[in-house]
Amino acid sequence: MNILVINCGSSSIKYQLFCMETDQSLASGIVEKIGALDSYICHKKADKTYKSKQIIDDYFSAIEKISELLSDETWGAVNSKDDIHAIGHRVVHGGEEFKSSVVIDKHVLDRIKFYSSLAPLHNPPAYNGIRATKKIFPNIKQVAVFDTAFHQTMPEQAFMYGLPYKLYTKYCIRRYGFHGTSHRYVSCAAAKILKKPLSKLKLITCHLGNGCSITAVRRGQSVDTSMGFTPLEGLLMGTRCGDIDPALIGYIMEKEKLSVEEVGHMMNRKSGLLGISGSSNDMRDLSQQAEKGDKQAKLAIDMFIYRVKKYIGSYIAAMNGADAIVLTGGIGENMPLIKQKLSKELSNLMGKTMKMLIIHTEEEHLIAMDTFELIKR
């Protein structure tokens, strides 16, 4: 069975085709700048890459193009589009309703649209992408895999904010958490590496990419996570500030004469590593600059690591111990310096038994596996 995984962003679509019998990725790619004049598609099969600039107006045209390429004589991985047997979609927000992946029907699609109020930047592209995919592949099942689903096991004491309770009942204001597919994938992978069942493990999984989040995973279930109602809370990220004193928002708005949107833009796009260094949101650039003596780049890296360290400490406390800390995401996987520093600075807390593992995350693979499981039923 061949399963296509689709991840729709606001102006891009990432895709990957898997053969489930051989557990192999057959082809993958990305359509970028959908709706702009300089849109393009970048498609990979084995180690060869095809790149083509062409105007791609909308999700429908993008998915049509993807479908053509996947069955192309030279670049394709299947003979025809009928050889694609199911589709798995990454969907960011499933509210409190979706605690696991589901086959998409009209009700599910309506609810994905409904949760756009909680994820205004992320759910609308997924909704439009699913509708476009349904038109191009009308006869096959589609599955939604939610970023928030894994965190639905958090207890109330961890997901509630200390605000009036009625804000929760009226507006669903609570911690949801994100990156759930990645935290779930690396938890399962860690259990295999540690040769222990997940049900016997306490793990702290750190997804450190452009967006960063950290999760306390007890017996395979998320019991706390650093991102909150939105992905802005928690760690210092590429361009997001993470935790700040909430009173600062009003203070900054007043001092800088900013609107709600403008202060939101500042906290989401102009802060974090970029805001502190004043030069880049990219950890590779910052480590080069820090080596050359750039003080602000060094401060950004120090703050980044310090915040990760504090969260690890608090999750060890939350679970009364941990068997392993897992690092993943672009920074977690590729920057050994981060692991070295964390291991050194946490050496007392980790003792001799707690491990620190680097695990490559494969969210698309997990989306394909969830889709396969649901389709088999």
Which neighbouring-strand residues pair with 48? Answer: 45
Give yes or no for residue 35 binding ligand ADP (CB under 6 A).
no
Give yes or no for residue 360 binding ligand ADP (CB under 6 A).
no
CA distance 228 to 159: 8
Which of 335, 354, 369, 374 touches ligand ADP (CB under 6 A)? 335
CA distance 78 to 10: 28
Q: Is 147 a catalytic residue?
A: yes
Give yes or no for residue 209 binding ligand ADP (CB under 6 A).
yes
- Region from 73-81, 100-108, 261-269, 325-333 binding ligand ADP, contact rule CB under 6 A: 325-333
Give yes or no for residue 331 binding ligand ADP (CB under 6 A).
yes
Give yes or no for residue 279 binding ligand ADP (CB under 6 A).
no
CA distance 50 to 202: 43
Give yes or no for residue 338 binding ligand ADP (CB under 6 A).
no
Whether 155 and 204 have beta carbons less than 8 Å apart is answered as no
- Least distance to ligand ADP, CB of residue 208, Å: 7
Whether 122 and 152 have beta carbons less than 8 Å apart is answered as no
> Per residue in 57-87, is it b (16+ CB within 10 Å) or e — as a string?
eebbbbbbbbbebbbeeebbbbeebebbbbb
Looking at beta carbons, which residue is closest to ligand ADP? 330
Give yes or no for residue 330 binding ligand ADP (CB under 6 A).
yes
Closest CA to 330 of 363, 290, 292: 363
Give yes or no for residue 300 binding ligand ADP (CB under 6 A).
no
Give yes or no for residue 243 binding ligand ADP (CB under 6 A).
no
Spot the catalytic one: 47, 105, 147, 302: 147
CA distance 94 to 115: 7
CA distance 285 to 142: 40
Biggest CA pair distance of the chain:
62
Which residue, 77 or 331, has its beta carbon nearer to ligand ADP?
A: 331
Which of 72, 97, 282, 323 touches ligand ADP (CB under 6 A)? 282
- Least distance to ligand ADP, CB of residue 286, Å: 8
CA distance 179 to 212: 8
CA distance 206 to 328: 6
Give yes or no for residue 211 binding ligand ADP (CB under 6 A).
yes
Which residue, 201 or 326, has its beta carbon nearer to ligand ADP?
A: 326
Which of 48, 135, 196, 284 touches ligand ADP (CB under 6 A)? 284
Which of 41, 283, 297, 357 touches ligand ADP (CB under 6 A)? 283
Catalytic residue ranges: 147
Q: Which residues bind ligand ADP (CB under 6 A)?
A: 209-211, 238, 282-284, 329-331, 334-335
